Amino acid sequence: MRGEIILKAKIISGKSLASDLREKMKNDIEELRKKEIIPGLAVILVGDDPASRTYVNAKIRACKETGIHSVIYERPADIREDELISLINQLNQEDTIHGILVQLPLPSHISELKIIETISPEKDVDGFHPINIGKMMIGQTGFLPCTPLGIIQLVKSKNIDLTGKHVVVIGRSNIVGKPVGQLFLKENATVTYCHSKTKDLINITRQADILIVAIGKAKIINKDYIKKGAIVIDVGVNRLSDGSLSGDVDFEQVSQIAGYITPVPGGVGPMTITMLLSNTLLAAKGKKIGCSREFD
């Protein structure tokens, strides 16, 4: 039929995996409630960036659906850094709050690092605190960042043995690219990082058994970048001029070559939020978190 894409790649649905995981979490949360522990998440939103608000609303909605108590703290864009720090310090002391999330980006007069460092590592359910990042690097237990954790769960859901697989990560941000490579390394994969200064990108990506794309440019990765049968994880979220969402991967083309592919929307996004819920639940349980193996 004209215009219809006949998929060759199998879809890895983040929406469906996230929904299964959230159902399981609901039972855990019910059990905790019987012990009079209600997992609590504080979300701080600074300013009125529409994208940030959309992400925060989605997180709050997900909390409500799974039975996590959430509180949103909205502050104006001109809030002083010390005021924000004092709010976080207050929440660090609050017993009903197990997780604290500050929606990024922050206005330029506020140091994001300073803010992240103020969150108690035990409540850092985003997994951005340098202590948690450091623990991840040396294989100690701590909170893992949500998007990388969601990505590894997506791949593992297909029962793919990661040992010796060549994982190529495009993007080296602190929240996606760098940590996701570390998680695959821990699973005995061989990891190559690429970024905007990488030479001959196409020749590197064509060697990937698993390609993780976290660039932030719509449809920049087409079929020429893909080895036949590769697993392609598209992290990018880009708003197109018609208002629709697109990943960094040209889904139409790449799904003809890849073995597995994640869609946008409905791929990595729902898993990111689900891992936030999962981290909040673990924080409430007061349990030490055992890196990705906790979720095997």
- Residues annotated as catalytic are 59, 103, 126
Query: Nearer Cβ to ligand NAP, position 125 or 237?
Result: 237
Number of residues that make up the chain? 296
Work out how close the CB of 286 gets to ligand NAP at its nearest, in angstroms, rounded to a whole number. 27
* Using rule CB under 6 A, residue 191 touches ligand NAP: no
DSSP code, position 121: G
Contacting range for ligand NAP; rule: CB under 6 A; set: 28-36, 61-69, 121-129, 236-244: 236-244
The tokens describing 74, both together, are 């909205």
Q: Helices 50-66 and 268-285, interaxial angle, to 10°?
A: 60
Classify 229 as helix, strand or coil.
coil
Beta strands across the sheet bearing 190-194: 10-11, 260-261, 231-234, 210-213, 166-170, 190-194
- Judged by CB under 6 A, the chain residues 213 through 232 that form the site for ligand NAP are 214-217
Using the minimum distance from each CB to ligand NAP, give the nearer residue, 67 or 269.
Answer: 269
21 binds ligand NAP, rule: CB under 6 A: no
Among 70, 118, 132, 147, binds ligand NAP (CB under 6 A): 147
Residue 173 contacts ligand NAP per CB under 6 A = yes
Tokens 């890849």, residue? 258
Q: Are residues 32 and 282 in contact, defined by beta-carbon separation less than 8 angstroms?
A: no
Contact 94, 127 (CB under 8 A): no
Instruction: Identify the residue among 110, 115, 175, 277 touching ligand NAP (CB under 6 A).
Output: 175
Between 133 and 214, CB nearer to ligand NAP:
214
CA 241 to chain centre: 25
- Give contact residues for ligand NAP (rule: CB under 6 A): 147, 170-173, 175-177, 194-198, 201, 214-217, 235-238, 268-269, 272
